[in-house]
A and B are shown apart, each in its own frame.
Chain A
Amino acid sequence: MQTAESHTLLVRISIAAAVVTAFLLPLWLHAGWISLITEMLILSIAACGYNLMMGYGGMVSFGPAGQYALGAYTTGVLLVKTNIPFALAMTAGPVCAALLSIVIGWFCVRRTEVYFSLLTLAFAQIVYTVIQKWYGFTGGDDGLVGIRVPEILSGIDKYYFFTVLVALFCLFVMWKMINSPFGKMIQGIRENPRRAEFISLNVKRYQLGIFVTSAFFLGVAGSLYSGFNGSIFPANIDVAKSTDIIVVCLMGGMHHFLGPVLGSIAYILINKIIANYTQYWALVLGIIIIGLVLYAQGGIAGFISERYSALRREA
């Protein structure tokens, strides 16, 4: 018992230390790095949100970029074309992503396995094509530029603090959610949908629930990104965004809550570092991915927790 308590204590202390460091970082770091870390945080929210569905729900979606796009473009369009307050536009993004995902998800959860994946891909592509072609509303290929950010958040440091706060809040809510009865049922359904049905769970309804929740957090990430970037283009929300999010989950470890966070830190770092040395970044990434799938399916978090429990056994 004592070791378990000291273990949770250790985890809590390290999380608290990470949070304090996150707030102090702008004191030491160059603005370029701060913007990089902001990107990491936004990707973390998206990947953690996606992981609710993929890691905890066992539903492999091919189209997280669709929900991300709904959030990003709702916020973007509202801030460029109307005069509504920033906070309202930021909330509208995720809400809109979640509402549309009720409709999309209602169809998707009726399919399983590869058919679920392909259906989510189809919907994400429909969203992408509509955004890319609807010049009058979304700016089409020219994108949406001049997304206004209020005085209080302009400047990379201020936006960074805002992102940290939102990310912490989102992670906290997601953590509570997966440890709630709802979260436990979702994990039960992942392990065995049939048995879950036998104990009279409405499997489809729970899956729709996690689909919409995941869409909400993907939407949050999208909205944050459009504010961060000040502009948004179809290239930010295409299939590559989906694969980014999926790869981040794998790299960090999808069976740990903070896995996707570690994954996004590693992914963006590797991306920036390799891109400095070679134009063959995709080749290196591909080799890393293949290596991960063949030799380290637990990802970074899986590796750390393995080492950690080995250490504890020895002690």
Chain B
Amino acid sequence: MNLQLAVMQLLNGLGSGMIIFLVAIGLSIIFGTLKVLNLAHAAIYMLGAYLCFWLSQIVLAHFPGNFWLVIFLAPLGTALIGALVEIFIIRRIYGQDLMYQFILTFGLSLVIADLVKLCWGMEVHYVPIPWPFQGSVPVLGAYLLKYQLFLYMAGTSVFAGLLLLMNYTKLGMLIRAVTYHRDMANALGINVPKVYTGVFMLGSCLAGFGGVAAAPVTSITLGMDHIVLVQCFIVVVIGGMGSITGAFLGSIILGLLNSFGILYLPQLALVFGFVLMAIILIARPYGLMGEPMEAEEKL
């Protein structure tokens, strides 16, 4: 393999890793705090991509720089939907059997996906790459889509922003307190349900943002959520549930694994992620960056 190709795969792998990160981090935060594995998360990502198409291509079609407006509007929309979903549906099953959480959020994903179908039909939609990221730049003899640069920026700034939010703000402290010990936080006067709603909104907002960021480089179609959901699972397992740094690392690893896997063994590229996930679950179930949680002992 020559250098040019390697550089190309490296850069593209990083870009797709960033998109996975934007979606997976929401799933990870929601699981970390609410202890709910939200199977509807990828459906919200899909909704974000469709909102991006609808707002930028139809509603605001003649508005200059519409993509950059939509990049704020669409995540806002998904965050609102996330809030409604949490308040009216998810809230009722906290602390219940895992089974019911899975099934409920799976049902939600079906509803969201079919509502998307109802609103925007079955056609495949596209969003053009926005100004000023059209075209490509030469990097070490390879050509890199300029839009990838935007993806790197979006991924790393969300990563940095979340780290700052969690570690250096009052809000982050509240979230950590609720994550660490829900009942004690409640006893100390923290409004736990409000924090839960907030975290769910944050997660949904990030999923929507991921959808918008992915829109110009993927075809927006029904079923685009399935593959992303399993990729998110892989990432949160590699990184460790609830760990921000872990999700970032995990996304980069998975992105590179996919892009180089396709180069070497195209037939089995999809398997690598799952094999890695299985290995991590067997050897180190709390992930690369997670900490072993002491299970609440039931006697």
B89, A290: Cβ atoms closer than 8 Å: yes
Flag whether A111 is at the interface (Cβ < 8 A). Answer: yes
Q: Which of B99, B102, B115, B285 contacts A283 (CB 8 A)?
A: B115
Chain B: CB-nearest residue to A251:
B103
Flag whether A181 is at the interface (Cβ < 8 A). Answer: no
A54 CB to closest chain B CB, in angstroms?
7
Interface string of B6-22 (1 = CB under 8 A from A): 00000000000000000
Contact residues in B for A286 (Cβ distance below 8 Å): 107-111, 114
Flag whether B282 is at the interface (Cβ < 8 A). Answer: yes
| Contact-residue size bin, chain A (C-beta under 8 Å from the other chain) | 35 or more
B98, A117: Cβ atoms closer than 8 Å: yes
B278 CB to closest chain A CB, in angstroms?
4
Q: How far is the CA of A286 from the CA of B107 in the complex (A)?
A: 4
Q: Which of B31, B92, B110 contacts A289 (CB 8 A)?
A: B110
Flag whether A205 is at the interface (Cβ < 8 A). Answer: no
Known: A129-B268, A194-B299, A290-B107. Contact between A283 and B114, CB under 8 A? yes
Interface string of B111-153 (1 = CB under 8 A from A): 1011101100000000000000000000000000000000000
B102, A60: Cβ atoms closer than 8 Å: yes
| Residues of B within 8 A of A (CB-CB), count | 44
Which candidate, A6-14, A160-168, A242-250, is the interface stretch facing chain B? Answer: A242-250
A119, B281: Cβ atoms closer than 8 Å: yes
Chain A: CB-nearest residue to B276:
A122
Q: Which of A123, A125, A280 contacts B117 (CB 8 A)?
A: A280
Q: How far is the CA of A133 from the CA of B108 in the complex (A)?
A: 31
Q: Which of A121, A195, A289 contacts B299 (CB 8 A)?
A: A195
Known: A115-B281, A129-B274, A133-B267. Contact between A60 and B98, CB under 8 A? yes
Within 8 A of A (CB), among B209-231: 226, 230
Chain B: CB-nearest residue to A250:
B103
Q: How far is the CA of A115 from the CA of B284 in the complex (A)?
A: 11
- A54-B99, A194-B297, A282-B113 are known contacts; what are 15 more A-B pairs with Cβ within 8 Å? A60-B97, A119-B282, A122-B234, A125-B274, A126-B271, A129-B268, A194-B298, A243-B106, A282-B111, A282-B114, A283-B115, A286-B114, A290-B107, A290-B111, A292-B103
- What are 24 A-B contacts with C-beta separation under 8 Å? A111-B285, A118-B277, A121-B230, A122-B234, A122-B275, A122-B278, A125-B274, A126-B274, A126-B278, A130-B271, A194-B298, A239-B226, A243-B106, A246-B99, A246-B106, A247-B106, A282-B111, A283-B110, A283-B111, A283-B114, A289-B103, A289-B110, A293-B103, A297-B100
